[in-house]
Amino acid sequence: MNFSSKLLEDAVAEFAKLPGVGQKTALRLVLHLLNQEKEDVEQFSRTISKLRNEIRFCEVCHNISDQVVCEICASHKRDKSTICVVEDTRDVMAVENTNQYNGVYHVLGGLISPMDGIGPSDLEIDTLVERLNNDEVKEIIFALSATMEGDTTIFYLNKRIKHFNITISTIARGIAFGGELEYVDEITLGRSIATRVPYENSLRK
Amino acid sequence: MNFSSKLLEDAVAEFAKLPGVGQKTALRLVLHLLNQEKEDVEQFSRTISKLRNEIRFCEVCHNISDQVVCEICASHKRDKSTICVVEDTRDVMAVENTNQYNGVYHVLGGLISPMDGIGPSDLEIDTLVERLNNDEVKEIIFALSATMEGDTTIFYLNKRIKHFNITISTIARGIAFGGELEYVDEITLGRSIATRVPYENSLRK
């Protein structure tokens, strides 16, 4: 694209670095900002800069937090003996939204992915093992994506922690609620037959 | 959504104000920025702030420009007697990309849209009339979107400038090159029959 201004070109280049944003979308966003009040754009710019510079992570679970220890880890109502291991803060939000979980979390900050150069040392794995050493943890639940990376991470984590005397579980995989059988992919359907559960168990709340 | 941090919530709210960006996309973009180097995020923030504060518009055609008069208006190679009237800088880029136009531009900065509260006085219309008064303009080409707003704007502009002794034209409308008749909508096809052109003219380069 031929831009009529260097400032415009720079701004479009910055926006185009964001995931899922191409040159055309970037230009649309930049022109939108140009139409806003100076004050509002300044606010936008300041908020982003502040976010990156002042963000903190909970000392215990490594979720994004404004305090040293996040609300969930600090709460007396949460069951500290169950830890749900998730990839990032979005997954914490997703699990919280179900209102089905009363334990605490451990945010890995990613998944093991040799293709992207992400190894175990890049993730909060040592800190998880430390938590198991110190705390009175009874159960670990892996709530990771059902992808190659998720499975690799679970495999590795399981090896690291299986010597502890705790229950290790993963969230159930199978057909989604409301899902019609004919539209379910073969792998999911096949696995959900192989890992079938007693009917009584499927009624558990 | 329940955010674990106020900083995170604020940043997501700012991104969600952008057109076509919802809460989930905003969160994805913000988490992406959190994974970047501080330096890079600072650069992103600074570029946006600089853009809004230092952007200038060409005195003549009102296109975005770093100079007082933009490159196109300042060029001796461009034909100053033909003015192409467009909505915004994206349209200038689109027409420039065709390599079919050697005149100059006039950027309105929007289209007349009573629904959005945009009237003629919000656009660069008076400055266009002024250009026609002063310069030796022979032709005006309206290259505006084929929408209600575009047509309204052309209708209004035509009334304002028809007393000048200049040719007023609009870009051709009809079926797109490569378009198959059976997939063309009825209005476009109907109008393209009504406004048919002599075969000789259709071969013009």
What ipTM goes with this model?
Answer: 0.80
CATH architecture of residue range(s) B6-53:
Orthogonal Bundle (1.10)
Per-residue pLDDT for A1 more than 80? no
Q: Which residues of B touch A46 (CB under 8 A)?
A: 45, 49
Query: Between B7, B31, B64, which is nearest A66 by CB?
Result: B7
- Round the average pLDDT of chain B to a whole number and report it: 89
Nearest residue of chain B to residue A38 (CA atoms): B52
Percentage of the residues of chain A whose pLDDT score is greater than 70: 99
User: pLDDT, tens digit, for every residue of B39-85?
Assistant: 999 999 999 999 988 888 999 999 998 888 998 999 999 999 999 99
What residues have CB less than 8 Å from B84, skipping those under 6 apart?
Answer: B95, B101, B103, B104, B105, B106, B141, B143
Per-residue pLDDT for A194 more than 70? yes
Q: Which residues of A touch B116 (CB under 8 A)?
A: none
Which pLDDT belongs to residue A48?
92
What superfamily would CATH give domain A6-54? RecR Domain 1 (1.10.8.420)
Given a contact cutoff of 8 angstroms between Cβ atoms, the answer to whether A89 and A63 are in contact is yes
Given a contact cutoff of 8 angstroms between Cβ atoms, the answer to whether B86 and B95 are in contact is yes
* Strands of the sheet with A139-142, listed across from one edge: A103-107, A79-86, A139-142, A167-170
Give the whole-angstrom CA distance, residue B183 versus residue B181: 5
Q: Which two tokens stand for residue A95?
A: 């699990």
Say whether domain B79-171 belongs to CATH 3.40.1360.10: yes
User: pLDDT, tens digit, for every residue of B149-194?
Assistant: 999 999 999 999 988 889 999 988 888 888 788 888 888 888 888 8
Nearest residue of chain B to residue A42 (CA atoms): B49
Which pLDDT belongs to residue A205?
60
Query: Between A18, A55, A92, which is nearest B29 by CB?
Result: A18
Which pLDDT belongs to residue A11?
93
Q: Which residues of A touch B28 (CB under 8 A)?
A: 19-20, 90
Residue of B9, B23, B31, B51 for testing the chain A interface, max A β-carbons within 10 Å: B51
Shortest CA gap B45–chain A (Å):
5
Which pLDDT belongs to residue A58?
92
Per-residue pLDDT for B92 more than 70? yes
Give the whole-angstrom CA distance, residue B164 versus residue B125: 15
Given a contact cutoff of 8 angstroms between Cβ atoms, the answer to whether B153 and B111 are in contact is yes
Q: Which residues of A touch B71 (CB under 8 A)?
A: 4
Q: Which two tokens stand for residue B99?
A: 């390599």
Residue of B1, B3, B5, B86 for testing the chain A interface, max A β-carbons within 10 Å: B5
Q: Which residues of A touch B7 (CB under 8 A)?
A: 50-51, 54-55, 66
Question: What does the domain layout of chain A look like in residue ranges?
Answer: 6-54, 79-171, 176-205
